[in-house]
């Protein structure tokens, strides 16, 4: 049995960037394979039931997908250097922010990537190169046409359409400013070394800065964000070392937590209430007067449930987030309490906060 990890990736997958960086930071022996039209079915689907990357094959022979699950699996098997703290307050906030990067920032990145012609052309070529590499009989032009089309088809389901694209792009400067504030107090988001949430934001922003449009946005944004991206890559380089410690004062993360609460969390709550009520449409006005509209998605309710579990565990242990951050989150969760949602009924420690 191999003692090495095998990582299946795609060139333009933010979650591949996230997991690759984490594995490098952990100094683990990794063989990377770029997914193609053959391995997408013979390995990915055969081993995980899905065709999505990243997938990690562990030395024990397990196949793991979903970047958050992969990160948790790696952390349990290889706890040094740590990418989660033993501070439940910092870890809870960090994991809420990780989900925000994975599930909300990705919408901004994908919207920009596929609704700008130059960005779309670049990424269609990248996908076609990967899918046809070492595979006989797969037409390059067809791959460049068909694979991107399947990605673009998912964007309206996320509430991102060509008609509202500018509203999505307008969220990015506020997010970058919030990251700038967070990085004013520490080298990484929650301490002196990268947490799992750092790798999540890195994956999305690293992909964004590879695209023609996104590269200009990141270039015009705060210098601290670009320096932080470089620090993450430096920390993952061979021979680099960090001194892990969590940030005692989390108040610098308040602007980022508020951005999360007033956009992503607000959407999650509206979606969960629509699912519970059997409605056929989710509508919410997000921060910045952004009108969100999409069909209800049980997947979003599942993600909200996982976030509520984080808060339930924290409150059940007699701990709480910093007051200003907690207030922002509870304000957005209030409609669940008003509607007597089953999501809160199943989490009594959290329910008592209302």
Give the pLDDT confidence of 97-153 residue by residue, as tens digits.
999 999 999 999 999 999 999 999 999 999 999 999 988 888 999 999 999 999 999
Can you give the pLDDT at residue 203? Answer: 98
Poorest-pLDDT segment among 127-136, 266-275, 319-328: 127-136
- Over residues 74-94, the mean pLDDT reads 95
pLDDT, tens digit, 9 for 90 and up, residues 298-320: 999 999 999 999 999 999 999 99
CATH code for residues 5-77: 3.40.30.10
| pLDDT over 60 (residue 331) | yes
- pLDDT value at residue 3: 84
Instruction: Yes or no: say if 136 and 183 are a contact pair by the CB < 8 Å rule.
Output: no
With H, G, I as helix, E, B as strand and everything else as coil, classify residue 291: strand
Please give the pLDDT value at position 2. Answer: 59
pTM (2 d.p.) = 0.96
Q: Where are the domains of the chain?
A: 5-77, 251-351
For the residues 46-74, what does the mean pLDDT come to? 95
Rounded mean pLDDT, 77-101: 96
Beta-sheet strands, E only, within 197-265? none
In 3-state terms, what secondary structure has residue 286? strand
Is the pLDDT reported for residue 24 higher than 50?
A: yes
**Could you write out the DSSP letters of every residue in 79-104?**
-SS-SS-S-HHHHHHHHHHHHHIIII
Report whether pLDDT(293) > 70.
yes
Over residues 61-83, mean pLDDT:
96
Sign of the CA dihedral running 266, 341, 282, 200: positive
Q: What is the pLDDT of the chain when averaged over all its residues?
A: 95
**Per-residue pLDDT, 165:** 95
The total number of residues shown for the chain amounts to 354
pLDDT of the residue at 1: 46
Q: Is residue 196 scored above 80 in pLDDT?
A: yes
């Amino acid at each position: 049995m191999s003692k090495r990890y095998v990582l299946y990736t795609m060139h333009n997958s933010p979650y591949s960037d996230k997991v690759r960086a984490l594995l490098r930071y952990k100094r683990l022996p990794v063989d990377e394979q770029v997914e193609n039209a053959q391995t997408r079915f013979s390995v990915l689907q055969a081993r995980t039931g899905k065709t999505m990357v990243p997938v990690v094959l562990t030395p024990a022979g397990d196949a793991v997908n979903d970047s958050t699950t992969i990160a948790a699996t790696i952390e349990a098997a290889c706890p040094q250097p740590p990418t989660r703290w033993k501070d439940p307050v910092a870890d809870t906030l960090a994991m809420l922010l990780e989900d925000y990067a994975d599930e909300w920032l990705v919408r901004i990145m994908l919207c920009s990537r596929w609704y700008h012609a130059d960005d779309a052309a670049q990424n269609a070529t990248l996908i076609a190169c990967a899918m046809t590499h070492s595979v006989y009989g797969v037409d390059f032009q067809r791959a460049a046409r068909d694979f991107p089309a399947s990605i673009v088809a998912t964007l309206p389901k996320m509430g991102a359409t060509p008609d509202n694209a500018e509203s999505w792009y307008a969220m990015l400067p506020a997010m970058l400013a919030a990251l700038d504030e967070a990085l004013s107090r520490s080298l990484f988001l929650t301490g002196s070394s990268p947490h799992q949430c750092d790798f999540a934001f890195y994956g999305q922003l690293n992909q964004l800065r590879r695209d023609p449009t996104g590269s200009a946005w990141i270039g015009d944004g705060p210098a601290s964000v670009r320096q932080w991206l470089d620090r993450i890559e430096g920390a993952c380089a061979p021979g680099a070392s960090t001194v892990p410690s969590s940030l005692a004062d989390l108040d610098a993360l308040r602007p980022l937590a508020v951005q999360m609460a007033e956009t992503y969390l607000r959407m999650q709550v509206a979606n969960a209430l629509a699912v519970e009520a059997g409605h056929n449409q989710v509508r919410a006005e997000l921060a910045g007067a952004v009108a969100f509209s999409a069909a209800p998605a049980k997947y979003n309710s599942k993600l909200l449930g996982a976030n509520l579990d984080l808060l339930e565990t924290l409150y059940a242990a007699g701990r709480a987030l910093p007051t200003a951050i907690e207030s922002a989150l509870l304000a957005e969760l209030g409609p669940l309490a008003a509607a007597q949602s089953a999501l809160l009924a199943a989490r009594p420690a959290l329910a008592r906060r209302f």
